[in-house]
Amino acid sequence: MATQISKAVLITGCSTGIGRATAEVLAQNGWAVYATARKLEAIRDLEAKGCKTLALDVCDEASMRAAVDVVEKAHGAVGVLVNNAGYGLEGAFEETPMELVRRQFETNVFGLTRMCQLVLPAMRRQGWGKIVNISSVGGTLTLPGGAFYHATKYAVEALSDAIRFEVRGFGIDVVIIEPGPIKTRFGDTAIANVHQVARDASPYADFNAAVAGKIHEAFEGWMAVAAGTPESVAQAILRAITASRPKTRYPITAAARTMMFLKRWLPDRAFDAFLGTQFPHPRPRPS
């Protein structure tokens, strides 16, 4: 085991929202933080808040390797990896182009997977590490219009469970963060993706409009009063990486816990019926 254990933190997706808040909170609490984003200029201001900044695109192998190499050369290992980069692809399943589906998995799943693979060897050598994967309440239940986003988050849950078992003996913890609605720009991106998928003459036009409306309500409308903040997620991440024995999962917001409770106890058809009170069922249009 290395005599000096690195606890340097590498965070993906820090330009806005949860990633940015996590970088700020951890730096304020004395952690050596490397904040990353695809566009370096989007996070330059984090340097004034105690972070080092790096360009990192989780869809690019060379970019991921380069960022990990920088941290390992300075500290010996990435001690804490926070896999935050991701976005929501929303809209009717049938009409979503496969290139958008592939991009969704490349960002939310394959990038996260590769980042874990890249940091694990040095974590193992030093006998200590924390991997924090940002999943979602959407990794435990599925809402209409979000087939591919939910599929990526279910994948994050499964990958994390498998990794946790495999690396625990090396002194490495794997933690899943499961936020409900959080006041970030995530909703703007999701709504934009609905419009990207939607077609005016589509049999799913009314459904897609309803999905966009529900996303707006959750992040900007009347439901947003119950939404959490990026800082609340950041504080949960701080607790997880500070704990000697962290929880395996951290649900964030009362809304997330309520939805998870309903999904756990309601039969599938009953949960579908509940969703039917919130979303219209796509149906043939009158001729």
Q: Tell me whether residue 149 is one of the annotated catalytic residues.
A: yes
- Cβ-in-10-Å burial (0-12, 13-18, 19+) of 110 comes to middle
Token pair recorded at residue 223: 């439901």
The three-state (H, E, C) secondary structure of 69-89, written as one string: HHHHHHHCCCCEEEECCCCCC
**Packing angle of the helix pair 230-242, 17-28 (nearest 10 deg):** 50
For residue 285, how far is the Cα from the chain centroid? 36
Q: Tokens 């069922």 map to which residue?
A: 281
Among 87, 149, 154, 250, the active-site one is: 149
SS3 category, 104: helix
219 phi and psi angles, rounded to 5 deg: -105, -25
Strand order in 9-11's β-sheet? 52-55, 33-37, 9-11, 80-83, 129-134, 172-179, 249-252
Q: Residue 50: what residue type?
A: G
The strand ranges marked E within 79-126 are 80-83
Rg (CA), the chain: 19
For residue 78 the two structure tokens come to 């990435």
The CA-CA-CA angle for residues 233, 162, 166, to 5°, reads 110
Catalytic residues: 149
